[in-house]
Amino acid sequence: GGPAVLLESPEGGGGRREAGAEPPARRYRLRDGCWVFCALLVCFADGASDLWLAAHYYVRGQRWWFGLTLLFVLLPSLVVQMLSLRWFVYDFAASTKDSGGGTKDSGPRGCCRLCVWLLQGLIHLLQLGQVWRYLRTLYLGLQSRWQAEHRRRHFYWRMMFESADISMLRLLEAFLKSAPQLVLQLSIMVQQNSIEPLQGLSASASLVSLAWMIASYQKVLRDSREDKMPMSYKGAVVQILWHLFTIAARAIAFALFASVFQLYFGIFIVTHWCIMTFWIIQGETDFCMSKWEEIIYNMVVGIIYIFCWFNVKEGRSRYRMCIYYIITLSENAALTILWFLYYDRKTTSDFNALILVCVVSSSFALGIFFMFIYYCLLHPNGPIFSHRSVGCIFRQEPPAVPGSPVEAVTSPPRSLPRTTGGERDGAPGERDSCVPVFQVRPCAPSALAARAPRTEGPVIRIDLPRKKYPAWDAHFIDRRLRKTILALEYASPTTPRLQYRTPGAPQEVLEYETTV
């Protein structure tokens, strides 16, 4: 048993709380509601502007542009609505089965359930599933403020579960719809050598939607976990600016190159996607339960890597992020230079061409500038790119005491507040004995941390090993546990704990938070 090593990364690995610090009570604030309301406005603006532009193309007789614009609106929306409806069916069917015992309902209860099914079917048929989830998030957040103290926490974590769902759905929709829509409209602008108001509105809404959802995903991921420091709204806004400018530079470079080299642009996109997917697979991510599901997931993340950086591997991600942005900078420069050498001089003047080249370079530079602002000033666990961060990478822990028993791998769910050690063991101010997240501990913990396995309070045992990366990697497991967790959280005076299967080799135990 040597010294412990703490692994931290800019995006996915850091931000853990100190073991002796009590996390502040989570409360739903006015700014949280404003954030959700702004996200709803962004969702409305993105979809409405695309549909308005498609109708504009149809009226003008531009059938080709009308078909492509409408395709990038309807197809991703159908995919996301089907996924959202599938989640609702699973959740509602599980709650109906638990409450009704599998018997056939009759009377007012059966009528109400039928109305719920019809209403949800109509909502998702009208492509309004995300809107309904945003409104439900606002409702649950307000209920967490208005309810009595013993029910406030229950509604708060129901709101966090709903926020997790809508963030995943909107992130998927952003890269299936907003990203290709942005490149399409920019390509049309370059080919026409003019910018119509509706085209600019649609492209701007798609760009804001992309940047907003990446930052919102990161914020909800941190807010829904007790082991991570929450992201401030200042940090979220700077993240939006970071992704806004880098994606804008990327999309403009794509549009310029595609306006001259349509065939080669398709070859370039496929080649870049294959390289990024292979890079992600080589990183040995651990998100899904089977090998083929993992490969499909990596292929989807490869689509995201066409436009922006997205951390999917635990560890010090700054080096991988630097490599990605070096590759992106080289590709943007190559695509822009090739367009500048071969663009049509009859439709675009040299002055306008130089302006476009300057826009690409300055936009990318601004994005990198805001990225450094975020990591140097606004990162939740302090400055990352500084001399102080070097000393935080490797930190010595007290030496282990030989002969101490290995503690069971147990911890409360990451989306629920931890109960203090005083609540569990009667020791005032003492915290849960679980070591911090991402800590590789020796086989024998220190004498101070060693204690008998805890048996009091509700425990949910899962016959699966813990995942190696703390993200929403097994979302279907989360859904199976949600009703049980919320019921136990409401009925029990202590927070329910999750216990995963302990690895077979007890020489070294990896402590990570669970997926809920």
Region 212-224: mean pLDDT is 86
Quick one: the chain helix, strand, coil %, rounded to 5?
A: 60, 5, 35
What tokens were used for 445?
Answer: 């913990």
User: pLDDT tens, 125-146?
Assistant: 999 999 999 999 999 999 888 8
Distance of CA 237 to the CA centre of its chain: 16
Q: Which of 177, 195, 213 is the last residue of a domain?
A: 195
299 — pLDDT class (breaks 50, 70, 90): confident
What is the residue-averaged pLDDT of the chain?
A: 74
Q: Which of 167, 195, 223 is the last residue of a domain?
A: 195
At 480 the pLDDT is 60
Residue 104 in any domain: the answer is no
Q: Which of 139, 174, 195 is the last residue of a domain?
A: 195
Instruction: With beta carbons less than 8 A apart as the criterion, state whether 481 and 391 touch.
Output: no
Region 384-405: mean pLDDT is 43
**CA separation for the pair 56, 52 (Å, rounded):** 6
Better-predicted residue by pLDDT, 251 or 475: 251
Predicted confidence (pLDDT) at residue 513 exceeds the cutoff of 50: no
Question: Partners of 440 in the beta sheet?
Answer: 5, 510
**CA separation for the pair 129, 85 (Å, rounded):** 8
**CA separation for the pair 228, 11 (Å, rounded):** 11
Question: Partners of 510 in the beta sheet?
Answer: 440
Region 356-364: mean pLDDT is 95
186 lies in which domain range? Answer: 26-98+113-195
Residue 428 in any domain: the answer is no
Instruction: With beta carbons less than 8 A apart as the criterion, state whether 17 and 226 touch.
Output: yes
Give percent of the chain with pLDDT exceeding 70: 63
**CA separation for the pair 19, 380 (Å, rounded):** 17
What tokens were used for 355?
Answer: 């302006």
Question: Partners of 499 in the beta sheet?
Answer: 410, 461
At 61 the pLDDT is 92
User: pLDDT tens, 74-93?
Assistant: 999 999 999 899 888 877 77
**How many independent structural domains does the chain possess?**
2
At 483 the pLDDT is 64
Residue 410 in any domain: the answer is no
At 3 the pLDDT is 31
Question: Partners of 497 in the beta sheet?
Answer: 459
Predicted confidence (pLDDT) at residue 5 exceeds the cutoff of 60: no
Region 105-128: mean pLDDT is 84
What does pTM read for this prediction? 0.71
At 315 the pLDDT is 59
The alpha-helical segments, DSSP class H, found in 224-261 are 233-260
At 310 the pLDDT is 81
| 270-279: long-range pairs with CB below 8 Å, 24+ | 272/305, 272/306, 272/331, 273/302, 273/303, 273/305, 273/306, 274/302, 276/301, 276/302, 276/305, 276/306, 277/301, 277/302, 277/305
Region 221-238: mean pLDDT is 83
At 23 the pLDDT is 46
Please tell me which of 202-216, 420-434, 476-490 the model is most confident about, judged by mean pLDDT. 202-216
Instruction: With beta carbons less than 8 A apart as the criterion, state whether 259 and 348 touch.
Output: no
What tokens were used for 345?
Answer: 């001089």
Task: Give the number of other Cβ atoms within 10 Å of residue 162's Cβ.
Answer: 20
Region 19-23: mean pLDDT is 42
Give percent of the chain with pLDDT exceeding 90: 34
Residue 350 in any domain: the answer is no
Predicted confidence (pLDDT) at residue 508 exceeds the cutoff of 50: no
At 236 the pLDDT is 94
User: pLDDT tens, 459-494?
Assistant: 776 666 555 433 333 444 555 666 666 666 666 666
What tokens were used for 273?
Answer: 């996607």
Predicted confidence (pLDDT) at residue 322 exceeds the cutoff of 70: yes
Residue 243 in any domain: the answer is no
Residue 426 in any domain: the answer is no
At 295 the pLDDT is 79
Residue by residue, what is the 3-state secondary structure of 301-330?
Answer: HHHHCCCCCCCCCCCCHHHHHHHHHHHHHH
User: pLDDT tens, 261-279?
Assistant: 988 999 999 999 999 988 8
Residue by residue, what is the 3-state secondary structure of 374-440?
Answer: HHHHHCCCCCCCCHHHHCCCCCCCCCCCCCCCCCCCEECCCCCCCCCHHHHHCCCCCCCCCCCCCEE
Would you call 237 exposed, middle or buried from its count of C-beta atoms within 10 A (0-12, 13-18, 19+)? middle
At 443 the pLDDT is 38
User: pLDDT tens, 368-394?
Assistant: 999 999 989 988 877 765 544 443 333
Residue 127 in any domain: the answer is yes
Distance of CA 122 to the CA centre of its chain: 28
**CA separation for the pair 455, 14 (Å, rounded):** 30
Task: Give the number of other Cβ atoms within 10 Å of residue 394's Cβ.
Answer: 12
Residue 75 in any domain: the answer is yes
Predicted confidence (pLDDT) at residue 421 exceeds the cutoff of 60: no
Q: Which of 406, 412, 436, 420 is nearest to 514 (CA)?
A: 412
Question: Partners of 509 in the beta sheet?
Answer: 441
In the chain, the N- to C-terminal Cα span, in Å, equals: 31
Predicted confidence (pLDDT) at residue 516 exceeds the cutoff of 50: no
Better-predicted residue by pLDDT, 437 or 273: 273
At 444 the pLDDT is 39
**CA separation for the pair 307, 249 (Å, rounded):** 10
Amino acid at 234: K
411 — pLDDT class (breaks 50, 70, 90): very low
**CA separation for the pair 151, 153 (Å, rounded):** 6
Q: Which of 433, 447, 438, 432 is nearest to 395 (CA)?
A: 438
At 414 the pLDDT is 37
DSSP β-ladder status, 497-500 and 410-411: antiparallel
Instruction: With beta carbons less than 8 A apart as the criterion, state whether 313 and 320 touch.
Output: yes
User: pLDDT tens, 27-68?
Assistant: 788 899 999 999 999 999 999 999 999 999 999 999 999 999
